[in-house]
């Protein structure tokens, strides 16, 4: 049974196995100010009035990043996004802006040109499109041969209609990619927004689209992304896979929205007598991202929000990472699922979904499948005899038209999400993935954008077979004013992350090692595969066979093993403080832990005794409170922080208790008596460096 709108899910959370859930808080949380002070990030500063920034393209060859916003197209330097940005101001024509307002649009600032597509055409030219105040327009952009040329302008006379290329409505998501001079776009094709299509235009190929107003093909789709895959040694087999979500046709019982993967052959030319100008190779399948609780109930994350394509050794088999959220407002859950192209292909090679008539259930089609098998590319490995889709038989075209959906669904690798977010106060919106070589192996690190304007860096830690755990290494606020993250792009070459939202663009380094603290133990406990202790500081780790002094232990995060020689003395660096309490009053004992993952225990060596004993104290934020203290509560209190089995002292307080009768004698001098209850200090966001000690008690 599949449940989508879920009051039940809250219950489920209690019964789900912990595996995969990021239940623990981030080890380090940086506010926007902390991030800027760390000098590992830059925010793009722009003097013009604009909004809705989107990173549209990263060009690692020319070291540029292309960003679209309201009325502006930007070309930014990947090394420093503020270094001499190249700017095209491209507003909608003034009369169009006025028409748009008169037509009753514009309440949400729609009557501007929102730049939504930029793709390379060749070495010197790009192709860009915007919404043009509800009248999409496109143009050629000249960018010169090399980035040092510093040119970036619209080729005069090249502005043309962008229908079928850019959306009309700036709130609509779209997908677009140019392959060999041909544009493939997933977009709304009309002003009213009732006709969405997967469109092919430009170049020397005939325009092709999905069947119009046929909800079996597409049903109010929202396009998320795409990837080109060469499927065999035959160029004719090259396919475009498109990821999107759409309204479900399954009626009352199923979820309202489903995630999909569709595919088409790049060399599709449409049919000759039927399906003229339509895809003859369009097929789609459901993408499932779900988790099965201990009670056997399946919880589905049905809304695909963003994808990341990770290339592997085998160019035919990249991995697709998807971020999904639940539907409905009762519970806000997010999940990351990973799909292999081999699994996806198996579904497209499997049975077709079939419906006998209205009111019938979808079944697996058991009749005779025509030849060539629908979805196979003309001239490809399995259909070498037929050169063009125009030569496909009518039986093939009829079948394709009525059976675009595969019967089986695509399940993620290991049949479970790689990561689940149970925290209901925010969701994930976007993703980038890096593969990081560390001293003890290669680790997958996810950078996840949230709807609260932060980026989370999550390391995937392999557990038992097929099981993983997500460790949130850090969470950073990347904009001055919080706004949901729209895109994340990563440049492993530059070691930078680029992030956009409605309010701006920020670049940040993939690591902030020194922020974990300035001891070997802090560096080791952080378990960040980008970082290692180099003998003096927590610094970026670069794999090298000769640097044996570098300490890193991502797998276990065990300072006892990794930091021998760096943490010898028990209480070093912690100085004893004096504090006075009044008999019968309350005392606050301060204890600053370094990480939210640290648990605190207290040791007490009573006045006149030799040994420290563990005591249970009522904890509160930043320390503990002793109420109604007695004379025999005096002594030395040591606060110990324990993280991942590693203990060290975090504070030492010598508490003296003033007898009440002595206080009464001193009433003439009340101002000289310390306040019985001191307020806890404000909680710091950033850990202060602390010298580590190992516990020799």
Give contact residues for ligand NAG (rule: CB under 6 A).
49, 109, 121-125, 140
Minimum distance from CB of 579 to ligand NAG (Å)? 54
Say if CB 225 and CB 175 are below 8 A apart: yes
Write out the two tokens for 46. 């722009």
Q: Which is nearer to ligand NAG, 111 or 242 (CB)?
A: 111
Contact 340, 317 (CB under 8 A): yes
Using an 8 Å Cβ cutoff, are 376 and 382 in contact?
A: yes
Q: How far is the CB of 125 from ligand NAG (least distance, A)?
A: 4
CB of 141 to ligand NAG, least distance (A): 10
Distance CA 41, CA 526 (A): 20
Shortest distance (Å) from residue 155 CB to ligand NAG: 7
From CA 29, how far away is CA 683, in angstroms rounded?
12
> Cα–Cα distance between 551 and 561 in angstroms, integer?
10
| Least distance in angstroms from the C-beta of 252 to ligand NAG | 41
Comparison of 123 and 561: residue with beta carbon closer to ligand NAG: 123
**How many Å from the N-terminal Cα to the C-terminal Cα in the chain?**
55
Taking the C-alpha atoms of residue 497 and residue 192, their distance in angstroms, rounded to an integer, is 37
Omega of the bond prior to 14 within 30 degrees of 0, cis?
no
In angstroms, give the least distance from the CB of 115 to ligand NAG: 15
Q: Which residue, 139 or 436, is less far from ligand NAG as judged by CB?
A: 139
Distance CA 475, CA 253 (A): 38
d(CA 602, CA 588): 13
Closer Cβ to ligand NAG, 503 or 597, answer by number: 503
The helices-and-strands tally (H runs, E runs) of the chain is 8, 44
Closer CB to ligand NAG, 140 or 525, in the complex: 140
- Closest CB to ligand NAG among residues 114, 392: 114
In this structure, are residues 489 and 58 in contact, taking their beta carbons and an 8 Å threshold? yes
**Which stretch of DSSP H or E encloses residue 9?**
helix 8-15
Q: Report the residue number, 49 or 253, with the smaller CB distance to ligand NAG.
A: 49
Instruction: Write down the least CB distance from residue 121 to ligand NAG, Å.
Output: 5
d(CA 599, CA 603): 14
The tokens describing 201, both together, are 């235009």
What DSSP string describes 311-368? --SSTT--EEEEEEE-SSSS---EEEEEEEHHHHHHHHTSPBEE--STTPPPEE--SP
User: Smallest distance from the beta carbon of 145 to ligand NAG, in angstroms?
Assistant: 8
Minimum CB–partner distance for residue 590 and ligand NAG (Å): 46
- CA 406, 410, 415 angle in degrees (round to 5)? 150
Select 45 or 568, whichever has its Cβ closest to ligand NAG. Answer: 45
In terms of CB distance, is 52 or 469 closer to ligand NAG?
52
Q: Which two tokens stand for residue 82?
A: 């503020």
Segments of 208-273 assigned E as strands: 222-229, 239-247, 257-265
Nearer residue to ligand NAG within complex by CB, 49 or 549: 49
Residue 54 near residue 69, CB atoms below 8 Å: yes
Counting Cβ atoms within 10 Å, is residue 512 exposed (0-12), middle (13-18) or buried (19+)? buried
In angstroms, give the least distance from the CB of 50 to ligand NAG.
8
Measured from the CB of residue 185, what is the shortest distance to ligand NAG in angstroms? 18
CB of 135 to ligand NAG, least distance (A): 18
The pairing of beta strand 2-3 with beta strand 298-300: parallel
Q: Which is nearer to ligand NAG, 170 or 623 (CB)?
A: 170
Q: Which is nearer to ligand NAG, 36 or 87 (CB)?
A: 87
* Sign of the torsion formed by the C-alpha atoms of 500, 505, 507 and 513: negative
Compute the half-sphere exposure of residue 511: CA atoms within 13 Å on the CB side of its CA: 23
Cβ proximity to ligand NAG, 139 vs 597, nearer residue:
139
Q: Report in angstroms the alpha-carbon separations of 520 from 366, 524, 691.
A: 64, 6, 9
Alpha helices by DSSP H, 63-163:
94-102
Task: Compare residues 137 and 430 and give the one whose CB is closer to ligand NAG.
Answer: 137
Angle at 328 between CA 324 and CA 329, to 5 degrees: 110
**Which stretches of 423-576 are DSSP H helices?**
520-526, 559-562
Q: How far is the CB of 131 from ligand NAG (least distance, A)?
A: 14
Q: What's the closest the beta carbon of residue 47 comes to ligand NAG, in angstroms?
A: 11
Contacts of 25 (CB under 8 A, 6+ apart): 472, 596, 597
Q: Which is nearer to ligand NAG, 158 or 644 (CB)?
A: 158
Please report where in the chains the tokens 């499997």 appear, as a residue: 350
- The secondary structure element, H or E, covering residue 435 is strand 428-438
Cβ closer to ligand NAG: 49 or 233? 49
Question: Residue for token digits 């001239």?
Answer: 379
Closest CB 123 distance from ligand NAG, rounded Å: 5
Shortest distance, position 140 Cβ to ligand NAG, whole Å: 6
Closer residue to ligand NAG in complex, CB, 122/667: 122
**Cβ contacts of 120 within 8 Å, gap of 6 or more:** 57, 59, 126, 127, 178
Q: How far is the CB of 49 from ligand NAG (least distance, A)?
A: 4
Cβ-based neighbours of 309, under 8 Å, separated by 6 or more: 225, 227, 318, 319, 320, 321
């Amino acid at each position: 049974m599949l449940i989508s709108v879920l009051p039940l899910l809250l219950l489920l959370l209690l019964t789900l196995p912990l595996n995969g859930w990021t239940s623990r808080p981030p080890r380090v949380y940086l506010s926007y100010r902390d991030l800027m002070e760390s000098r590992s990030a830059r925010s793009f500063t722009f003097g013009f009035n604009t909004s809705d920034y989107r990173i549209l393209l990263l060009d690692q060859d020319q070291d540029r990043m292309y960003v679209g916003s309201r009325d502006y197209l930007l070309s930014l330097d990947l090394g420093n996004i503020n270094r001499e940005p190249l700017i095209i101001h491209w507003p909608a024509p003034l009369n169009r802006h006025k028409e748009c307002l008169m037509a009753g649009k514009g309440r949400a600032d729609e009557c501007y040109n929102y730049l939504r597509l930029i793709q390379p055409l060749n070495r010197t030219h790009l192709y860009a499109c915007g919404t043009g105040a509800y009248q999409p327009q496109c143009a050629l952009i000249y960018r010169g041969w090399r980035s040092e040329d510093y040119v970036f302008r619209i080729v005069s006379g090249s502005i043309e209609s962008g229908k079928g290329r850019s959306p009309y409505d700036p709130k609509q998501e779209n997908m677009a990619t140019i392959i060999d001079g041909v544009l493939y776009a997933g977009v709304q094709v009309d002003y009213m927004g009732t006709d969405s299509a997967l469109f092919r235009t430009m170049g020397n190929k005939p325009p092709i689209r999905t069947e119009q107003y046929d909800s079996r093909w597409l049903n109010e789709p929202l396009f998320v992304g795409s990837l080109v895959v060469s499927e065999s040694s035959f160029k004719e087999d090259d396919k475009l896979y498109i990821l999107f979500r759409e309204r479900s046709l399954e009626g009352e019982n199923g979820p309202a929205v489903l995630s999909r993967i569709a595919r088409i052959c790049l060399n599709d030319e449409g049919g000759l007598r039927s399906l003229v100008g339509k895809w003859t190779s369009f097929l789609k399948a459901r993408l499932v991202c779900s988790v099965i609780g201990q009670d056997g109930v399946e919880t589905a994350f049905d809304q695909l929000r963003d994808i990341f394509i990770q290339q592997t050794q085998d160019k035919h088999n990249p991995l697709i990472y998807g971020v999904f959220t639940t539907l409905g407002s009762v519970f806000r859950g997010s999940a990351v699922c990973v799909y292999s192209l081999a699994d996806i292909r198996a579904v497209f090679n499997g049975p077709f979904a079939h419906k006998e008539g209205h009111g019938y259930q979808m079944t697996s089609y058991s009749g005779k499948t025509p030849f060539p098998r629908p979805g196979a590319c003309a001239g490809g490995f399995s259909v070498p005899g037929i050169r063009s889709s125009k030569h496909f038989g009518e039986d093939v075209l009829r079948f394709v038209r009525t059976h675009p959906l595969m019967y089986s669904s695509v399940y993620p690798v290991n049949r479970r999400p790689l990561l689940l977010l149970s925290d209901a106060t925010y969701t994930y919106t976007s993703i980038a993935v890096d593969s990081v070589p560390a001293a003890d192996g290669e680790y997958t690190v996810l950078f996840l954008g949230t709807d609260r304007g932060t980026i989370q860096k999550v390391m995937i830690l392999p557990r038992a077979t097929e099981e993983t755990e997500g460790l949130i290494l850090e969470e950073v606020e990347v904009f001055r004013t919080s706004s949901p993250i729209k895109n994340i792009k990563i440049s492993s070459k530059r070691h930078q992350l680029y992030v956009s939202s409605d309010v701006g663009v920020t670049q940040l380094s993939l690591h902030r090692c020194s922020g974990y603290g300035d001891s070997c133990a802090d560096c080791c406990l952080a378990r960040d595969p980008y970082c290692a202790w180099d003998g003096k500081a927590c610094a970026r780790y670069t794999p090298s066979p000769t640097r044996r002094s570098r300490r890193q232990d991502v797998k276990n995060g065990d300072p006892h093993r990794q930091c021998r020689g760096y943490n010898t003395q028990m209480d070093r660096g912690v100085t004893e403080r004096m504090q006075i309490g009044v008999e019968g009053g309350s005392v606050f004992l301060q204890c600053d832990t370094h990480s939210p993952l640290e648990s605190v225990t207290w040791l007490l060596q009573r006045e006149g005794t030799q040994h420290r004993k563990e005591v249970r104290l009522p904890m509160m934020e930043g320390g503990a409170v002793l109420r109604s203290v007695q004379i025999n509560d005096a002594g030395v209190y040591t606060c110990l922080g324990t993280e991942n089995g590693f203990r060290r002292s975090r504070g030492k307080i010598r508490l003296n208790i003033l007898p009440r009768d002595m206080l009464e004698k001193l009433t003439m001098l009340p101002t000289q008596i310390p306040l019985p209850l001191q307020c806890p200090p404000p909680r710091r966001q950033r850990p202060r460096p602390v010298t580590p000690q190992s516990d020799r008690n």
